[in-house]
Amino acid sequence: MAVSNLSPALRAPASSRAHPKAKHGYGKRSVPKQRPCGESDFALLPERERHIAGYVDALPDGAAMDIKSLARSQPLYGQMAVGSALRALGVAGHLRHVRCLSGEGDQVRWVTRTFWSRTARDNEWWNAFLTAEERSSAPQGVAEAATTTAPPPWIPAEPADPAEPAAPEADVSSEVAAPGRAQSPLTTVPVPQATADRPSAAFLALAHLGRIDSRVALSGAECAALEQAAAEWFARGVDADHLTRALTAGLPASIDTPFGFVRRRLRDKLPPRLPAAAPAAPGAPVRRLMVECTDCGVPGRPEVFRDGLCRPCRDTDPA
């Protein structure tokens, strides 16, 4: 990464509101054996990344690390800039987004965490650390079959090549037809009752796209027309942050018809419907930790990521 200047990071950026804590089990996790804070921390990063890094570094463990919370709690950068900064910090070796299997017995769930290192680490260090973290998170003295569940079926063994040259894949699997092939119509999913004062979560997610990137800004009528398709994503276990990230990752330089572009992504990137139960094959290893691509959010094994990015996002990286 080019050296822009050697100014120290902002250690305690001004904020108009207190930074929120993440839900229990989620949020920031500092890695061990870091050097003490110093004025030279993040000095080689560009100004925006240096500011976001200083802000994140000052947050306590357990703080919310989603783009919306980071953008709301510091005054200088909006969601699009924060998202780009987090991606750059992942490439620089300061963070990794992961999904961890948390809990024991029947009380297990997947939680999203962001491991943070003040010291930039290389890929080998992160792979070794995350492998050790997965091992340490496994329950001791209890049979694996009774304490873990199989990874969700949308998690691939390795992120697939992008279906669109300008757009990295989101959470997809072989169960979803590739663009250009015949696809079955979307399953009809009842859209939650909404009123003018309380629009549905699907409508709000679509309406918010234009604030993240003006290239995919939709009108109210267009949001209403695509609301059913977005609701299907929610029915398949995707939250608003994941949906907006999948719809805005790797956008081409210009988009002539945002409505048609978003409609196609809603169809082509639709994740598979999860079965009621997905037991692992007898004797098959069960993963308790999966890395998320810092750009598009697709999960996979730590060793298939480089600089926090999946292969499609690395291939579309202009740098």
Give the pLDDT confidence score for residue 36 in this predicted structure: 85
Q: Are 98 and 289 in contact (CB under 8 A)?
A: yes
* Strand segments (E) across the chain: 27-30, 95-104, 107-116, 289-292, 299-300
Closest of 200, 195, 193 to residue 223, by C-alpha: 200
DSSP 177: P
CB atoms within 10 A of CB 319: 7
Q: What angle do CA 145, 149, 150 make, to 5 degrees?
A: 110
For residue 274, give both structure tokens.
Answer: 């999860």
Name the residue with tokens 């909404």: 194
Are 39 and 82 spatial neighbours (Cβ–Cβ below 8 Å)? Answer: no
The encoded tokens of residue 240 equal: 């608003």
How is the chain split into domains, by residue range? 27-150+283-315, 201-268
| 3-class secondary structure, 290 | strand
Kindly report the CA angle at 18 between 17 and 23, in degrees rounded to 5? 130
Per-residue model confidence (pLDDT) at position 37: 86
Give one DSSP letter per residue of 43-63, joined into a string.
Answer: TTS-HHHHHHHHHHHHSPTTB
Cβ-based neighbour number of residue 78 at 10 Å: 12
57, 120, 64, 128: which is closest to 88 by C-alpha? 120
Q: For residue 138, give the amino acid letter.
A: A
Q: Are 143 and 293 in contact, with CB atoms under 8 Å apart?
A: no
pLDDT in the model for residue 311? 81
Is there a contact between 90 and 71 (Cβ–Cβ < 8 Å)?
no
Write the CA distances from 186 to 4, 182, 233, 236, 298, integer angstroms.
Answer: 48, 12, 10, 12, 22
| Contact between 218 and 259 (Cβ < 8 Å) | yes
Q: What pLDDT is stored for residue 77 in this prediction?
A: 92
Q: Which residues contact 45 (CB under 8 A, 6 or more apart)?
A: 1, 4, 9, 53, 88, 89, 92
What tokens were used for 238? 């995707």
Report mean pLDDT in 10-residue bins for the chain, 319 residues: 47 60 88 85 92 94 91 90 92 92 71 92 92 76 38 41 37 33 40 61 92 92 94 84 85 91 91 59 65 82 85 69
